[in-house]
Structure 1
Amino acid sequence: MMRNILLLIIGLYVMACSESSILGDEFIGDDSFDLSYIDTVSLELSTLRYDSVITSTSDRLLLAYQSDSVFTGMNTEGYFLLAPASDNTITDSDVFDSITISLPLDGYFYNLEDYVSVNVQLERLTEELESRAYYNFSNPSSINSSKTTLMNREVKFYADRDQDPEVRIDNAFGESLFNLYQNGSDKIETSSEFYQYLKGLQLSITSDESVGIGLVADSIRLRLYYTNHTGDTESQSELDMYVSGSPYFTHYSYNQPQRFESIVEFGDQVISDNTHHASLIHGGLGYRTLVSLPSIEELTLTGKNYVISGALLKLFPVESTDDLPETIYATYVTEDLEIISSSSLIVSLYYDDDHGRDTFFAIDVSDLIASMFADESTRNYSVVFDLDDDLNNSISNLWIGDETYRSELILYTITNK
């Protein structure tokens, strides 16, 4: 691993030399410059929280419950609409049999190695989902509708099986829906008629231990089974309704942990000194790690003519609820937390296979540091760290240690002798 880090540092230096006009032919063999590094640049880690995390743009509908030393009784609910069936062939002579819901797994599991048994609840909303036409649901969204329970069953979810659970739900609801698809004066013929009848559904789970299960939202399916009578023969047929193309989102319900109780609105921060020298990144709850560099301004006041040839930010993880991710992501922000980087930056994991003590995330921040040295107005810029987009609708989380856990910024500089 150390060989990889050395190559990274050399790469930073070569890259800087190739881009700086100061580091041209005059530098090579010139005794007027001194190449060195500074490893005592202080870091300040804080935890902040986004006001809302958009979950309607995620492909996932999350069923989860989390209870640990930080979060007690956090749970999620998945809200969704179904599109009406596009191929209704139900006739007057057909007879309703049953109705089921299919729960397609997307491969995300939290705290599940083989299988888990949880109680799954399906509830019918009596009012339309808020702002349904705009498809712009976020966490937290206000859910004001009363509900009617359609299903409350124990379901087994397997981590290594291709088959998705298909669960029977309330027959009375199924028969009522079947009757509206059948010929008659109340037959459903348009989408608006369907949405007027079925305004929305909610999925949730109850569990005695922390668990998370990701569903492919678009593929959630309600299926009507019915018997088709043609002459003297009988055959079973199905009519399917999918979420596909309809609004959905995941709602997170939780109590603010005591250590983060001072975070009331976006912009509020809790420094790592008050959270056991670590900062939290939590996917679905919107907690993110903010790294500030207050000592950069002090370096600019020393009177030395620094040229930044490389800057390496190393962050040591303290704890992760899952296996450590191979990458996390970073964005540069202003003092007001406005994003200034054009895209998210990849932060790579360097894993110590032998002991794990030297496992850390690293990112080249040479461009940010060079800007902070060159422009006084940028010296309050910081870096926000985030999980992969796929985990931003999840209960996966990661604690990043501060300087107590050896997180550091290493500057490679060239100065006039």
Structure 2
Amino acid sequence: MKHLNWALILTILFVVSCSTEEWDIPTLEVGQEFTDKTVRLIEIDTFKVRTSTFKFDSIVTSQGERLLIGRYLDNYYGTVKSESYMELTAEDYHVPEDAELDSIALIMGYDGYYYNDTLQLSHIHVHRLLEDLETTEENFYNTSSLIFDTIPLVTKRFYPEPMGGDSLHISIPKSFGEPIFNLIKEKSISDDNDFTEQFKGIVLRPTSDGNSNVIGFTKNPKRTYLRFFYSIPEEFDDEDEDDGNELVLDFAITPIYGLSWFNRITSDVTALPLEALNDQEDDLSSNKGGGLTFVQSGTGYVTRIEFPTIKNIGDLPGTGTILSAVLEMTPLIDSYDDMFPLRDSLQVQVVDQNNDPSSFLRNGNGIVYGRFGEADLEFSESLYQIPVTTYIEQELAEAPEIDNGLILIPNDFQNSIDRVVLYGAEYTDFAPKLIITYAIYDE
């Protein structure tokens, strides 16, 4: 066991000296072994907490239900951009031979998600995909890309309404769809394979400059689709209800196809601390990150947490047991607001020495989450409180020692760009704090 931390001893002496009578402690379910022993309950918050940031080489973005499109500028994460790639197919390729194409529109249903200022003008460039939406891997990732026509079919400028609007309507040039529509009428296109031979799909991209927002659209085929409007000319009044009426043929992301879409999510962090992260095994310590650590879904940044002095608890006099261990992490003041909202919880995972995740952290209640709690800090509104008792117990029982740690990630890590900036140990008033409630007996 390493030498005892003298700051820890002083803290313990202070807490014990200020404690109540030996048995004047909260009711504890600590087992029969305590019943005939003198027990003192102390709280320790001087264990070192080491924090750093690393970036996943890639994260899966071809699962879930959300298309993310947009671009914004961030003081900590640089230029954040997301674009969506998708293959479209139809339920039925039947169109009457005398049908006439009237217009084409891309309808995109809002799913309620947004990040940054929705009062800013947004742009969506609609490009034609030039290669099959296929991969040799099991999924597409935030780093994946495919070849597309660099000249867009159309550019839509709009003010997004992610909360109050139903959908976004983008008119597509009729000249784009006329050849495809004629092939369907001629029955040269009669199934999905025929269709994707002629039309690989579309890519939706934001503008390459400016600072606007990232908007979420559903990929539900009932709300997001490419629609061909057509009609059948009235030649004779045969009481056919289709005569003269506008009909539609829809192409959408087909749910039965596992790899039919993905989001490409990138961030340009040039001249920012995060620029130092080139590989998943690279760690940016908080003292090299301006005293901060970083978390962002979509781009793959996560905060890593370690407790290098935790085994010093074995140097305390007497026999003891940990009753609870709570980690407190404080978001950087002024790093969040209505445009950069904080989520009320973060998932916690265990990672090894190479920053590869092994499992979610669990306790008797299931998966552990870091949740907002009230802070005692004068200038901070809130902090994340994370129950880590089971992890600390595992660390103390571990032999030989393994250089693992915990990471914090937003709940919707693959399909959002939520981000958090957290204080590191360099900020005395807001530093991460591990608070252990410890029962000592048999002194």
TM bucket normalised to smaller: 0.7 to 0.9
Cα displacement (A) at 1:223: 0.5
Question: How far did residue 325 of structure 1 move?
Answer: 1.3
Gap runs ≥5 in structure 2: 1-25, 238-242, 362-366
d(CA) in 2 for partners of 1:223, 1:302: 71
Number of equivalent positions:
392
Q: Which residue in 2 is equivalent to 1:104?
A: 109
Distance 1:373 1:353 in 2: 29
Q: Which residue of 1 aligns with 2:43?
A: 37
| Distance in 2 (alpha carbons) for counterparts of 1:170 and 1:382 | 53
Q: In structure 2, what residue type is equivalent to 1:127? A: E
Deviations 1:345-373 (A, max 9, x none): 21111146997625111121111112222
Match of 2:3 in 1: none
Task: Confirm whether residue 333 of structure 1 aligns to residue 351 of structure 2.
Answer: yes
1:327-406 aligned within 5 A = 327-342=345-360, 344-351=367-374, 357-378=380-401, 380-389=403-412, 391-403=413-425, 404=427, 405-406=430-431
* C-alpha distance in structure 2 between counterparts of 1:138 and 1:360, whole Å: 31
Match of 2:324 in 1: 310
The structure in which a higher percent of residues are strand is: 1
Q: Who is 1:77 aligned against?
A: 83
Distance 1:337 1:200, change over 3 A: same
Contact 2:295 2:419 in 1 (8 A): yes
Q: Is 1:210–2:224 an aligned residue pair?
A: no
2:179 pairs with 1:169: no
Task: Give the TM-score, by structure 1 length.
Answer: 0.86
**For 1:237 and 1:355, how far apart are their aligned partners in 2?**
63
Determine helix, strand or coil for the equivalent of 1:337. coil
- Cα shift readout 1:62-111 (whole Å, capped 9, x = no counterpart): 0020212234433221000001x223442222211111001111110112
SS of aligned partner of 1:96: strand
Structure 2: distance between partners of 1:53 and 1:340: 15
**Correspondent of 1:291 among 305, 310, 316:** 305
Q: Distance in 2 between matches of 1:337 and 1:301?
A: 30
Aligned twin of 2:140: 137
Which SS does the other structure have where 2:340 is aligned? coil
Output the amino acid matched with 1:313: L
Gaps of 5+ in 1: 1-12
CA offsets 1:320-366 (integer angstroms, 9 cap, x no match):
36332111110122333343445652111114699762511112111
Residue 386 (structure 1) shift? 0.4
| Secondary structure at the counterpart of residue 157 of structure 1 | coil
**TM superposition shift of 1:379:** 5.9
The letter for the 2-side match of 1:75 is K
Distance 1:64 1:304, change over 3 A: farther
* Closer, same or farther: CA 238–116 of 1 in aligned 2, 3 Å: farther
Q: Distance in 1 between matches of 2:394 and 2:132?
A: 50
Q: Which amino acid aligns with 1:315?
A: M
* 1:155 aligned residue (144, 155, 158): 158
Of 261, 266, 269, which aligns to 2:280? 266
Partner of 1:63: 69
Shift of 1:410: 0.8
Contact 1:99 1:168 in 2 (8 A): yes
Letter in 1 for 2:249: L
Shift of 1:248: 0.4
Paired residues of 1:309 and 1:412 also in contact (CA < 8 A): yes
Closer, same or farther in 2 for the Cα pair 1:252/1:341, shift >3 Å?
Answer: closer
TM-score (norm 2): 0.81
* 2:384 maps to amino acid: F
